[in-house]
Amino acid sequence: MSFPKTFSWGAASASYQIEGGAFEDGKGLSIWDSYSHRPGKTFNGHNGDISCDAYHRFEEDLDLMQELGIRNYRFSLSWARIIPDGSGQVNQAGLDYYDKLVNGCLMRNITPWITLYHWDLPRALYLKGGWLNRDTSHAFARYASIVAKHFSVRVKHFMTINEPQCVIGLGHLDAVHAPGTRLGDEDMFLSWHHLLLAHGLAVKAIRAAIPKASIGLASTGKLGYTSRKDIPSPEDLSRASFYTSREEASGNYYFNHQWLLDPVCLGHYPKDPVSPCYPYARKVKAEDLRTISAPIDFIGLNIYNGFEMEAAAPDPGTDDREDRKQAEAEPEHQPKTKRKQEEALAYVPVDKYPGYPRTALKWPVTPEVLYWGPRLIYERYGLPMVIAENGQSCNDRIFLDEEVHDPDRIDFLHRYLLELKAAVEEGIPVTGYFHWSFTDNLEWHSGYDDRFGLIYIDYRNLQRIPKDSAQWYSRIIRGNGSDL
Ligand code: BGC
């Protein structure tokens, strides 16, 4: 057995990262249009004004996709292109562009997967408070409804929001992404909650317009893995992975799957007293949680890397005894480690070895996470999944023979897809895989310095050059993974 015949092989992109046409045909400004123009915010001042110019060159991109046999395209819509101020009049020219894009996909036998929000909030909504303002959730639901009604006959697959973890963590905590604010714990939770509310309201709106729609969202975060598949206690690994993910995210306590997927899929926020979000999460009304947990059809997982774990050495108990004795003597005494204070974990993170493999962006290469990630998420939430993003940045360049050779990316994909295949063969319901990204593009604050694409973009003339990895991926898709 291998990948089922129905497996959706695809590639992904996002509006602000590829479109350009930032000020054309009545499009409103998004927070990224203004953020990228603020001095010092992006690498060398790069911005998405022109980017890959997909706004004018999407036909060329779709032709390449068709030639490679990529049959699923995940792209996001620019909310401000469709509704320039986010909540008012619809811009017909914006819809016309996405009509051409969707029709272009369908004509080429490519299934469109629409993401409604990949971080480019209309600036007008930001000026009214952005995600801190509950009205933004309702504006998002209206936008979702307009889009769903418009495409009801042509599009079946939707993702509401891409990586709320990054919207909040990078945009409102670390302040390295638009809008670049740093909020206090309470406001941060409020913004988080409004994003999730927006998701739930949008699910309802899409479902009302397209009862047979397949709806999900894209989640990201730290995930633990171990090198052995047949471990004695997968539940323990799961508990340790979900628990440790918070610590591994070094300070970004939203960068894990459970703070998003527990409310969305289980209808409650995690009972996690150590998290700074917990005091506010406890006060959320049941009605909001009902909205947030509107049933979805699949979980989109953006998985790039994970952290290795190994079975913990048995606790000799001495430390605990010491702690207990001291606690009796002085009630204020804190146990030596936070973990001991809460619960003993059967798995603990392994230190990375010197010279461990890394991508050009210095992200660790950890293929096993594409087996363990879906497995752990499935054990916790029991829903079908698609890998909505996976890939690596390389220092790609045009070689003397005028081709772009990227053996690192091929090796990365080969290793990761072998792990995914193992998960699918074990019956873990992953129904699709989207390579990030189809073309090189604007890597947010890193500008055009990082290249994730299967297609190289020469930014001097916007020429597209399929990399070796594009041909390799094409072969894998045509054989439905049998060549792995
Ligand atoms: C985002 C993409 C981004 C990619 C690589 C994901 O978190 O969804 O927009 O380009 O990671 O950083």
CA of 13 to the centre of ligand 1 (A): 9
Ligand 1 contact via 166 beta carbon (within 6 Å): yes
Confidence of residue 237 (pLDDT cuts 50, 70, 90): confident
- Active site annotation includes 389: yes
Which is catalytic among the residues 163, 248, 308, 443?
163
CA of 276 to the centre of ligand 1 (A): 25
Q: Are 242 and 342 in contact (CB under 8 A)?
A: no
Which is catalytic among the residues 248, 308, 368, 389?
389
Q: Are 206 and 316 in contact (CB under 8 A)?
A: no
The minimum-distance atom of ligand 1 relative to the CA of 218 is 8
Which residue puts its alpha carbon closest to atom 12 of ligand 1? 443
pLDDT at residue 329, rounded to an integer:
52
- Find the mean pLDDT for residues 150-177: 96
The candidate with the shortest Cα–Cα distance to 304, out of 434, 210, 399, 430, is 434
pLDDT at residue 317, rounded to an integer:
53
Report pLDDT digits (tens) over 243-301.
Answer: 887 777 667 888 899 999 999 999 999 988 888 889 999 999 999 999 999 999 999 99
- CB burial string 147-163: b at 16+ within 10 A, e below: bbebbeeebbbbbbbbb
How many whole angstroms separate alpha carbon 79 and alpha carbon 15?
9
Which residue puts its alpha carbon closest to atom 9 of ligand 1? 14
| DSSP tag of 262 | I
| DSSP tag of 266 | I
The minimum-distance atom of ligand 1 relative to the CA of 14 is 9
Using a cut of 0.75, tell me whether the model's pTM lies above it: yes
* Distance linking the first and last C-alpha atoms of the chain: 13
Domains, in order of start, for the chain: 8-478 (3.20.20.80)
Ligand 1 contact via 120 beta carbon (within 6 Å): no
pLDDT at residue 111, rounded to an integer:
98
Contacts of 190 (CB under 8 A, 6+ apart): 132, 280
How many whole angstroms separate alpha carbon 426 and alpha carbon 448?
39
pLDDT at residue 276, rounded to an integer:
86
Report pLDDT digits (tens) over 352-375.
Answer: 999 999 999 999 999 999 999 999
With the most atoms of ligand 1 within 8 angstroms of its CB, the residue from 74, 115, 260, 302 to mutate is 302
The candidate with the shortest Cα–Cα distance to 58, out of 9, 110, 119, 8, is 110
pLDDT at residue 118, rounded to an integer:
98
CA of 391 to the centre of ligand 1 (A): 10
How many whole angstroms separate alpha carbon 235 and alpha carbon 233?
5
How many whole angstroms separate alpha carbon 140 and alpha carbon 303?
26
| DSSP tag of 60 | H
What tokens does 99 get? 């009509």
Ligand 1 contact via 436 beta carbon (within 6 Å): yes
Q: Worst-scoring range by mean pLDDT, 202-206, 225-229, 384-388, 443-447?
A: 225-229
Confidence of residue 1 (pLDDT cuts 50, 70, 90): low
Share of the chain above pLDDT 90, in %: 83
| DSSP tag of 131 | G
Report pLDDT digits (tens) over 297-346.
Answer: 999 999 999 999 998 887 655 455 555 555 455 444 444 444 444 467 88
Report pLDDT digits (tens) over 396-442.
Answer: 999 999 999 999 999 999 999 999 999 999 999 999 999 999 999 99
pLDDT at residue 345, rounded to an integer:
85
Share of the chain above pLDDT 70, in %: 93
Provide the CA 71 distance to its chain's centre, in angstroms.
Answer: 20
Ligand 1 contact via 14 beta carbon (within 6 Å): yes
pLDDT at residue 316, rounded to an integer:
58
pLDDT at residue 322, rounded to an integer:
55
- Active site annotation includes 235: no
CA of 442 to the centre of ligand 1 (A): 10
CA of 280 to the centre of ligand 1 (A): 28
Classified as helix, coil or strand, 4 is coil
Which residue puts its alpha carbon closest to atom 3 of ligand 1? 443
pLDDT at residue 230, rounded to an integer:
73
